[in-house]
Amino acid sequence: MRLLIVEDDLQASGAMATGLTEAGHDCLCAADGEAGLAAARAEHFDVLIVDRMMPRLDGVGMVESLRKDGDQTPVLFLSALGEITDRVTGLRAGADDYLVKPYALAELAARVEALARRRETGSVQTLLRVGDLEMDLIGRQVRRDGKAIDLQPREFQLLEFLMRHGGQSVTRTMLLEKVWGYHFDPQTNVIDVHISRLRSKIDKGFERAMLQTVRGAGYRLEA
């Protein structure tokens, strides 16, 4: 799994990254909430491990910003604040789990793996939302600001993947694998063609463009 560790204690984050890497995960560390928010918006992660108390932007503010973007990546809060009110505040901010310091690395790893499993096999989402864009997965309908948008099947699949990763950058390779089922880049322009068509449908006539091209990275759907 791809994990983002947001922790201002560099010794603690280094120990976490070492242990989780040895457990088979790919880890990226950020030293404060602002850096963590930027990393979470720029790349895809399976789980975010976020310290509650940090300089510049605390964990609560970081997670609230991501949830407002439509980013539903599972979040595990780490904190020395263990009172019930502290846990409630963290969970209401958008966290999925809360682990009080000090903790055992084995428990941290187990909770991270549980969050990833829950995302894969948990309750089925039937309605996706990113900003004023809505997708009804059962009715196969898409609306933006209440206006119906007619999509072809592949465009629907592409938008669904982008919405499930709202606020995050997704690469061409990710799109080829998850939407088209290709396991390599055959130097095709199929993505460019479909992105162009999708952009014209969900952004044309609206004041703000949602489907962004991230130079050197891929694409991002922003609220």
Same domain, 139 and 207: yes
We report the CATH number of the domain holding residue 15 as: 3.40.50.2300
Same domain, 6 and 109: yes
Same domain, 58 and 97: yes
Query: Is 80 exceeded by the pLDDT of residue 126?
Result: no
Q: What pLDDT is attached to residue 59?
A: 92
In Å, the largest CA–CA distance within the chain is 54
DSSP readout, 175-209? HIIIII--SS----SHHHHHHHHHHHHHTTTSSS-
Residue 3, strand partner residues: 27, 47
- Pinpoint the alpha helices (H) of 10-138: 10-22, 33-42, 59-69, 84-92, 105-121
Secondary structure (H, E, C), 110-168: HHHHHHHHHHHHCCCCCEEEECCEEEECCCCEEEECCEEECCCHHHHHHHHHHHHCCCC
Query: Is 60 exceeded by the pLDDT of residue 27?
Result: yes
Query: Is 80 exceeded by the pLDDT of residue 83?
Result: no
Tell me how many domains the chain contains.
2
Q: How confident is the model at residue 220 (pLDDT cuts 50, 70, 90)?
A: very high
Same domain, 62 and 165: no
Q: What pLDDT is attached to residue 1?
A: 87
Contacts with 67 (C-beta within 8 Å, 6 or more apart), sequence order? 93, 94
Each residue of 65-75: pLDDT tens digit?
Answer: 998 888 889 99
Same domain, 178 and 160: yes
Same domain, 57 and 134: no
Same domain, 144 and 183: yes
Percent of the chain with pLDDT over 70: 95
Which of 73, 94, 121 is a domain's end point?
Answer: 121
Q: Are 102 and 15 contacting, i.e. CB atoms less than 8 angstroms apart?
A: no
Percent of the chain with pLDDT over 90: 47
Same domain, 13 and 47: yes
User: 119-133, 137-151, 205-219: which range is least confident on average?
Assistant: 119-133
Structure token pair of residue 87: 């846990």
Q: What pLDDT is attached to residue 121?
A: 57
Measured CA to CA in angstroms, residue 161 lies from 4, 96, 214 at distances of: 20, 21, 16
Q: What pLDDT is attached to residue 147?
A: 93
**Cα angle: 116, vertex 23, 12; to 5 degrees:** 90
Structure token pair of residue 77: 């809060």
Q: What pLDDT is attached to residue 184?
A: 60
Same domain, 201 and 171: yes
Query: Is 80 exceeded by the pLDDT of residue 187?
Result: no
Full domain range(s) for residue 8: 2-121
Same domain, 113 and 217: no
Average pLDDT over residues 74-86: 85
Query: Is 70 exceeded by the pLDDT of residue 150?
Result: yes
Same domain, 214 and 134: yes
For the chain, the average pLDDT equals 88
Separation between Cα atoms, residue 192 and residue 16, nearest integer Å: 39
Contacts with 90 (C-beta within 8 Å, 6 or more apart), sequence order? 52, 59, 60, 77, 79, 98
Same domain, 86 and 42: yes
Which of 101, 121, 141 is a domain's end point?
Answer: 121
Backbone angles phi and psi of 10, in degrees to 5: -65, -35
Which of 86, 121, 156 is a domain's end point?
Answer: 121
